[in-house]
Amino acid sequence: MELLTPGTGLLFWQVVVFAALFFLLSKMAWKPILSSLKERETSIQTALDSAEKAKAEMASLKSDNEKLLKQAREERDHILRDAREAANRIHDQAQADAKKNGDRIIQDAKAVINIEKQAALRDVRTQVAQFSLEIAEKLIKKNLANDTAQKELVNSFIKELKLN
Amino acid sequence: MQTYLKKPFSLVKSAFLTLVVYLCLGAILSSYAQEEHVSDTTRHEEGHSKKVKISAVIIEHVMDNHVWHFFDGHYGTLHLPVIVYSTERGLDIFSSGHFFDEHHQEITYDGYKLEHNKIHRGDKEVLDFSITKNVMMLFINAGLLLIVMTSVAKAYKRNTGKAPRGLQSIMEPVVLFVKDEIVKPNIGPKYEKYLPYLLTLFFFILFGNLLGLLPGSGNLTGNIAVTSTLALFTFLITNFSGNKNYWRHILWTPGVPLPLRFIILPVEIIGIFTKPFSLMIRLFAAITAGHIVLLSLLGLTFIFRSWFVGFGSSIFVLFISMIELLVAGIQAYVFTLFSSLYIGMAVEEHGHDH
């Protein structure tokens, strides 16, 4: 059948044109197209890779930051604790000193008071004795002004003596 | 990667949709053109058996021709150049218009006679290198491919590092599809060497198939000369790039008992030739059959001479045209797929014998 027998002319032209088309397209079309596609593929891949790397770097940076922060926080706590301890110590010390001072002052005061008291008491005693003597003198002077009173006194003395 | 792949596919889809719309219009237009032509032939040869005439018209449409007939009338026919070679006359170049007189009757010119698309001189057939309708189609196809692909390549240079635009964004997913879905998985690590050939093959067949569906165009990729040449190229590339394993597999299939080898050897040797042969027949049959179906459906109108049949068959033609669009893509895909499969089998490195 005619449909199935290839025509020599078309066969010839097809070989020539297809071969030419292949060489021309390879040089002028496929080479630039495929190379730019490859270029794009690699650029996308490198972009993705660098993004991944940046992400990892960010994560490590973040963990570093956190570590630093944690360290700083610990240091702060440490310093605060130290300061508080120091303050407490100083406070206690001051309190103890103050107490000691106070005690000493009180003791000194007590001693002074005692001495003063003794002195005052001694004073009071001598004065009381003086006053008693004076009172007794005045009484005696007054009571022994008449005879009966003297007699009575002598009598009372005698009575007392008798009893003894 | 998954999302990267999805986008080109939607682009392929949109490109195909555009083509579908475009070729629907084409199918309608072509049906008009062909109706006119067929009715003209029927009028001319009234009284003969109509069925025979319709089939003759159909065969004429799918075959190659020395003239390119667009429509009836004085300017409707393009007389293509005839280039013939014979030992006694040497090379002769003249217009095929010389084969016809004013009444469109075939006449002898300078001792050459055109009969059934073959040029004779006396009793002998001469070597015919004429620029026939299909050779014209071949030039148009190749020219279009060159224009489209070089402009796409230029776009890549112009838009370096930018997103593809325009024609470039239509072609890029197709190129990527051929590269990543057809060639790479079938040939393996050495695929880059064969990629230019397979891309040329794919786009040549795709463009040829689609151009063949246009009204008034020739049936380029449904011609056995074209498909046999393409198959021959694949055959040559396959066997010239065949490595040691490939030939050992054919000549001394490993792991087969000795008596069986005498049966397997001829089978394997025949297999070398049946592979490209199947490529040749598949493309030829698929495209030619599609054209015959379309023309037969249109021919129904003129057999029945009825408006209703005309309306019905036009709807069918529209439907079949859509399928033909699909077939155009599928056949380009299948030819490229099998070509890369055969090349892949030839260059495959066997890690183990089986």
Whole-Å CA distances, A102 to A92, A96, A98, A114:
15, 10, 6, 18
| DSSP string computed for B293-304 | HHHHHHHHHHHH
Q: Where are the alpha helices (DSSP H) in chain A?
A: 8-25, 31-143, 147-163
Structure tokens at B274: 């049946």
Q: β-strands B90-95, B81-86: how paired? A: antiparallel
| Contact between A17 and B139 (Cβ < 8 Å) | yes
Residues 268-287 of B with CB under 8 A from A: none
| Contact between B315 and B297 (Cβ < 8 Å) | no
Instruction: Write out the E strands in chain B.
Output: 67-69, 77-79, 81-86, 90-95, 112-115, 118-121, 124-125, 127-128
**Cβ-defined contact of B150 to A28 (cutoff 8 Å):** yes
**Cβ-defined contact of A25 to B64 (cutoff 8 Å):** no
Nearest to B324 by CA among B195, B193, B171, B215: B215
Nearest to B6 by CA among B161, B168, B176: B176
Query: Which of B21 and A81 is assigned the larger pLDDT?
Result: A81
Q: Work out the minimum CA distance from B352 to partner chain A, whole angstroms.
A: 32
pLDDT of amino acid B225: 93
- Residue B306 backbone dihedrals phi, psi, to 5 degrees: -135, 140
For residues A40-62, average pLDDT: 93
The tens place of each residue's pLDDT in chain B, 354 residues long, gives: 344 444 555 555 565 556 555 555 555 555 545 544 544 444 444 444 555 688 888 888 888 888 888 887 777 888 888 888 888 888 888 888 888 877 777 788 878 888 777 888 877 778 888 898 999 999 999 999 999 999 999 988 888 777 888 888 899 999 999 999 999 999 988 899 999 999 999 999 999 999 999 888 888 999 999 999 999 999 999 999 988 888 888 888 778 888 888 888 889 899 999 999 999 999 999 999 999 999 999 888 888 888 888 899 999 999 999 999 999 999 999 999 999 999 999 998 865 544
pLDDT in tens, A6-48: 888 889 999 999 999 999 999 999 999 999 889 888 999 999 9
pLDDT at A2 over 80: no
**Cβ-defined contact of B145 to A25 (cutoff 8 Å):** yes
pLDDT at A58 over 90: yes
d(CA B250, CA B240): 14
**Cβ-defined contact of A25 to B223 (cutoff 8 Å):** no
Going by C-beta distance under 8 Å and a sequence separation of 6 or more, which residues neighbour residue B283?
Answer: B205, B221, B222, B227, B230, B331, B335
pLDDT of amino acid B49: 55
| DSSP string computed for B284-326 | HHHHHHHHHHHHHHHHHHHHHT-HHHHHHHHHHHHHHHHHHHH
| DSSP string computed for B110-123 | TTEEEETTEEEETT
| Contact between B110 and B97 (Cβ < 8 Å) | no
pLDDT of amino acid B354: 46
Which residue in A5, A20, A32 is closest to B153 by CB distance? A32
| DSSP string computed for B2-15 | HHHHHHHHHHHHHH
pTM for the complete prediction?
Answer: 0.71
Which site among A22, A23, A25 would you substitute to test the B interface, given the most B Cβ atoms closer than 10 Å to its Cβ?
A25
Nearest CA in chain B to A2: B63
Chain A residues touching residue B277 (CB < 8 angstroms): none
Nearest to B84 by CA among B74, B95, B73: B95
Residues 1-30 of A with CB under 8 A from B: 2-15, 17-18, 20-22, 24-26, 28-30
How does the average pLDDT of chain A come out, rounded? Answer: 90
Going by C-beta distance under 8 Å and a sequence separation of 6 or more, which residues neighbour residue A2?
Answer: B59, B63, B116, B117
Q: Is B71 left (phi over 0), alpha (psi -120 to 50) or beta?
A: beta
d(CA A88, CA A69): 28
Residues 313-342 of B with CB under 8 A from A: none
Nearest to A37 by CA among B145, B2, B176, B158: B176
The domain spans of chain B are 2-31+134-347, 81-130
| DSSP string computed for B65-99 | -SEEE-SSSTTSEEE-EEEEEETTTEEEEEEGGGG
Q: Work out the minimum CA distance from B353 to partner chain A, whole angstroms.
A: 35
